[in-house]
Structure 1
C-alpha cells in the first residue's frame, strides 16, 4: 500500500498554470497537420513537471500528448482537466498508461466538438450578437463593448470551471460525455442552436430587390418586391439562406468563400439594378 507521503498530488497553482496555458495557447502553432496538438502539450507541461521530477520520466510521459488532437477549444478544456487527473493517477501507480490517456482524448474529441460547436458557435455567439446588435441602434458603441466584455468573461470563467470540473471527476466524466446522456445533450443543444440561428436569421437578415419595369411613359408597371411581398414576404431572404446552406453543406464550400460569392452576387446585382444599396454620392 502506498504511503500517504509518497502520494503525488497536483496543487491548485499548477492546475491554474496548466489552465492558463490552454486558455491562451490552445491554438498555438496551429496547422492542418497538428491542429491543437502543441497547445495541448504546452498545457500539460506544468502537470508533467510537477508529477515527474526526473527528466527521463517527463519525456516518457509527455509522449502520450504528441498524437493529433482537435476539438472545440472552449469545451475542450474539460478534456485537459480530465487528463490532468488521469496523469496524476498514473504517476501514483494506477493501471493507466499513455495509450489509455490517448484513447480517452481521441474518444472525447468528437463528442466535445459536437456539443461545443452547437452550444458555443450555434447558440451562445448568435445570442450575444443579437443582444449587441439591439444595443448598437443608432451607431452606439455600447453593443460592441457589451459583446467584448461578455464574451471574455464567459470564455474565461466558463473554461476555468470546466477545467477544474474535469480534474475533479477525472475519467468518471468520460462515461457521461460519450454515453446516452451525452448524446441526448448534444441533440438538445443542436435543436436549441438551430432555433436560435433561425430566430437571428428572421430578425436581422433582410434581402430585398429594387428591380422594376417601366412602361414607355416612364411609369412603373411591375415592382418585383411588391409582388414578392404579396406572395411570400421574405422569399429572397429564404432563397439566399438556402443557397448558402447548399454551398456549405452540399458543395462543401468554406464560409469564407461563401461570403466572397455573396459579395460578388451583390456587386453584380447592384450593377444590373437588381439590388439597391441605398447609397448616395
Structure 2
C-alpha cells in the first residue's frame, strides 16, 4: 500500500475526529444483526478518518478491510476503541509498521474488557443511580423525574463518549496495555462489585411485592392475613422471591428482559384475578 510507505506527517484535525465520533455516537448500532453486531457502525465511523488520511480511493478501499471483521462491545465505552483506532490509523498512514491485522487484533482484544467495564459501570451502576433519583423526583405523578433522567442521560452519554473518544485518540496504543492488563482487570472487578451494591440498593428502595390475600371465618372476620404472617417471619420475602425468579429467568434460562417483563405482567394479572394481589384500583 503506497501510503504506508510514506514518511510524511499526516495529522487528523479536530473536525475530522468530531465527524468520526458523531457517526459512532448516532450510528454505533447501524444495521445491527446477530451476524455483524456493531461492525457497520464501526466502519461508518472510520470513513472520515480514512478519507482524510488516504486521498486515493484504492488506498481507502484497502484500509477499510481492517474494519470488516466482527465487532461488538459496550457502545458507550466503545468510543475509546474507535479513538485508539483513529490514532493507530494515523500512525499507519505515516509509515509506521502497523498493519491492518494489528489494528484488528487490537479491536478484538479490547471488545471483551470494554464490554465488561461498560456493562458494569453503565448498565449496572450509572443507570440505576439515575433511575433511583428520577423515581424519587416522580412522586405523586410529577413529570420532573422523567425530564431529569432524559436530559442528564443524554448529556452524560454524549459528552462522556466524546471525552473517551478523544482520550483514546490521544493515548493511542498506550491505552491498550491498561485496559487488558492487571489494572484493567482490577477496575472491572471493582466496578462489578459497586454495580451489584447499587442494584441491591435500588431493589430494596423501589421494589415492594406484597399480597392482599386474607382468609375470613364464618363470621366474616379475618383469621389469617398472609402478608402479616410473612412480615413476622421474613419481611420482604415476596420481593426476594420475585427478584430471584427474574434473575433465574434471565441468567439461567437466558430469557430476554422483554419476555421477563411480559411474564411478570401475566403473573400479576393472574394474581389479581385470584385475589392474591390487589392493585388498589377503583371502578
Q: Which residue of 2 aligns with 1:86?
A: 88
The alignment status of 1:116 with 2:93, answered yes or no, reads: no
Could you give the per-residue CA deviations for residues 73-95 of structure 1, whole angstroms, max 9, x where no partner exists? 01000000000000001111111
Could you give the per-residue CA deviations for residues 61-107 of structure 1, whole angstroms, max 9, x where no partner exists? 00100111110001000000000000001111111111000000001
Q: 1:23 and 1:123 mapped to 2: Cα distance?
A: 21
| Greater displacement, 47-56 / 242-251 | 242-251
Q: Which residue of 1 aligns with 2:42?
A: 40
Q: Which residue of 2 aligns with 1:169?
A: 171
Q: Which residue of 2 aligns with 1:204?
A: 206
Q: TM-score, normalised by structure 2?
A: 0.97
1:221 counterpart SS class: strand
Q: Which residue of 2 aligns with 1:125?
A: 127
Shift of 1:5: 9.0
2:141 counterpart SS class: coil
2:73 counterpart SS class: coil
TM alignment of 1:9-158, pairs within 5 A: 9-158=11-160
1:6 counterpart SS class: coil
Structure 2: give runs of 5+ residues left out of the alignment: none
2:140 counterpart SS class: coil
Q: Which residue of 1 aligns with 2:228?
A: 226
The alignment status of 1:243 with 2:245, answered yes or no, reads: yes
Q: 1:269 and 1:129 mapped to 2: Cα distance?
A: 27
Q: TM-score, normalised by structure 1?
A: 0.97
Q: 1:77 and 1:173 mapped to 2: Cα distance?
A: 13
| Greater displacement, 250-259 / 58-67 | 250-259
Structure 1 moving runs of 4+ over 4 Å: none
Task: Say if 2:7 and 2:95, in contact at 8 Å, map to a contact too.
Answer: no
Q: 1:73 and 1:5 mapped to 2: Cα distance?
A: 34
Task: Say if 2:81 and 2:165, in contact at 8 Å, map to a contact too.
Answer: yes
Q: 1:248 and 1:149 mapped to 2: Cα distance?
A: 30
Shift of 1:256: 1.1
| Greater displacement, 165-174 / 4-13 | 4-13
Shift of 1:6: 2.5
Shift of 1:216: 1.1
TM alignment of 1:255-274, pairs within 5 A: 255-274=257-276
Structure 1: give runs of 5+ residues left out of the alignment: none
